């Protein structure tokens, strides 16, 4: 990433990426906790988010980044691990989009063609580079936030506070467990770890604003989902889409189409970013042409996603919270700590 992007642009991409996850979450991730606990667990996520990224920020402070060795073996290992993580998350993102299109939008149509279309367009976005992705994210972020606010406002009439339950109704442990699992599903921490050296501006401040905003948005979405749907939300495949479909504003009867639009925009940017990062890391680490990696990555993604397409059991097998948790825990704090230790040791040896 020779060309740097601003912290505002970078966190705009990450915010859209997080909004996508919030909008597309399925109740299986929050099994065992009640509506009120779902809202409260966003605070735990906030704290875990800070803890998990602390080594990354320590690694990228001025004193440490001076010692960065771009061509070392460690960087190659990092490139491979991060690329694998990004590939895995791009597979799950596309697969979830496929699940949505195949079950909600076009239940009677084969959506494989659309799936391929998404991958081709995203590969094109990745080929264009980080700057266009970042600029697009800035342009999308305001309309997306406004759309969400609009949907939330139009849901106010449907809110029933009686659907809320006392906090920690099923105990504290399930809340902590789902929070940790949610952090594990957050590929954005890995994106931060991989691309922070190439972001100009105040990344720490940006990180806190991003984390706070995404916490607020997630809490708001959980609040409306819990209060509008109650226990019924656990029976929905995509509860956020369901509440959006219930929303009414003036003569508009359902706002599901807006959620679809937001979903596609966010997914497009997220998949483009993940493919771009894979190509960038591997091309820098191993000297392969970026376009070659982009094409190979897109083809692999298409093959895997076509294999999963239309089969919910395959999707469930691939979309494993445990695998994601392990991957994120390795790629974010473990790698950062290992690199930090290597650097400190090198520094000591030099002195």
Chain residues in the site for other proteins (CB under 8 A): 3, 6, 8-9, 101, 105-106, 114, 117-118, 121, 124-125, 128-129, 131-140, 245, 251-257, 260-261, 264-265, 268-269, 272
What is the pairing mode between strands 199-200 and 5-6?
Answer: parallel
Minimum distance from CB of 106 to other proteins (Å)? Answer: 8
3-class secondary-structure state, position 252:
strand
Minimum distance from CB of 335 to other proteins (Å)? Answer: 29
| CA–CA separation, 154 and 288 (whole Å) | 50
Q: Which is nearer to other proteins, 3 or 313 (CB)?
A: 3
Minimum distance from CB of 157 to other proteins (Å)? Answer: 18
Minimum distance from CB of 318 to other proteins (Å)? Answer: 22
Minimum distance from CB of 147 to other proteins (Å)? Answer: 11
Q: Which is nearer to other proteins, 222 or 263 (CB)?
A: 263
Q: Which is nearer to other proteins, 165 or 260 (CB)?
A: 260
**98, 115, 120, 121, 241 from 297: Cα distances, Å:** 18, 15, 11, 13, 30
| CA–CA separation, 306 and 314 (whole Å) | 11
CB 271 within 8 Å of CB 117: no
Q: Which is nearer to other proteins, 55 or 256 (CB)?
A: 256
CB 54 within 8 Å of CB 281: no
Minimum distance from CB of 246 to other proteins (Å)? Answer: 11
**Phi, psi for residue 309 in degrees, rounded to 5:** -50, 130
Minimum distance from CB of 202 to other proteins (Å)? Answer: 15
Q: Which is nearer to other proteins, 251 or 322 (CB)?
A: 251
CA angle, 239 as apex, 25 and 18 as ends, to 5°?
A: 30
CB 207 within 8 Å of CB 54: no
Q: Which is nearer to other proteins, 15 or 327 (CB)?
A: 15
Minimum distance from CB of 254 to other proteins (Å)? Answer: 4
Q: Which is nearer to other proteins, 236 or 320 (CB)?
A: 236
Q: Which is nearer to other proteins, 91 or 118 (CB)?
A: 118
Determine the angle formed by the axes of helices 335-350 and 73-100, rounding to 10 degrees. 170
**16, 111, 207, 249 from 105: Cα distances, Å:** 22, 10, 35, 21
CB 82 within 8 Å of CB 281: yes
Helices (H), the chain: 7-23, 35-59, 62-65, 73-100, 112-128, 130-155, 172-184, 188-195, 203-229, 239-246, 256-286, 290-308, 312-318, 321-329, 335-350
């Amino acid at each position: 990433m020779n060309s740097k992007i601003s912290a505002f642009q970078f966190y705009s991409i990450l915010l859209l990426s997080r909004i996508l996850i919030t909008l597309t979450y399925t109740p299986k991730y929050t099994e065992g906790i009640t509506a009120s606990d779902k809202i409260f667990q966003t605070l735990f996520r906030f704290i875990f988010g800070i803890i998990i990224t602390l080594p990354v920020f320590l690694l990228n402070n001025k004193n440490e980044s001076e010692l960065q060795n771009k061509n070392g073996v460690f960087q190659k290992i990092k490139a491979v691990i991060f690329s694998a993580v990004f590939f895995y998350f791009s597979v799950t993102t596309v697969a979830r989009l496929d699940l949505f299109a195949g079950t909600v939008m076009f239940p009677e149509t084969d959506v494989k063609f659309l799936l391929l279309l998404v991958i081709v367009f995203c590969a094109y976005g990745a080929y264009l580079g980080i700057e266009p992705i970042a600029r697009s994210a800035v342009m999308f972020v305001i309309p997306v936030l406004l759309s969400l606010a609009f949907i939330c406002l139009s849901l106010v009439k449907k809110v029933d506070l009686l659907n809320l339950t006392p906090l920690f109704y099923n105990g504290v442990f399930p809340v902590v467990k789902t929070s940790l699992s949610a952090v594990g599903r957050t590929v954005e921490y890995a994106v931060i770890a991989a691309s922070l050296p190439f972001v100009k501006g105040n990344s720490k401040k940006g990180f806190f604003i991003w984390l706070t905003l995404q916490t607020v948005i997630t809490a708001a979405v959980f609040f409306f989902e819990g209060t509008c749907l109650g226990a019924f939300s656990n029976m929905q495949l995509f509860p956020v889409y369901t509440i959006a479909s219930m929303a009414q504003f003036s003569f508009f009867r359902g706002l599901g189409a807006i959620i679809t639009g937001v979903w596609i925009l966010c997914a497009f940017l997220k998949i483009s970013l993940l493919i771009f990062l894979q190509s960038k890391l591997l091309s820098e680490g191993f000297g392969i042409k970026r376009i070659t990696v982009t094409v190979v990555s897109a083809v692999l993604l298409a093959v895997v996603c076509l294999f999963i397409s239309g089969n919910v059991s395959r999707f469930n097998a691939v979309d494993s919270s445990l695998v994601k948790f392990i991957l994120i825990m390795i790629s974010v704090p473990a790698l950062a700590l290992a690199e930090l230790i290597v650097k400190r040791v090198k520094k000591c040896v030099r002195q």
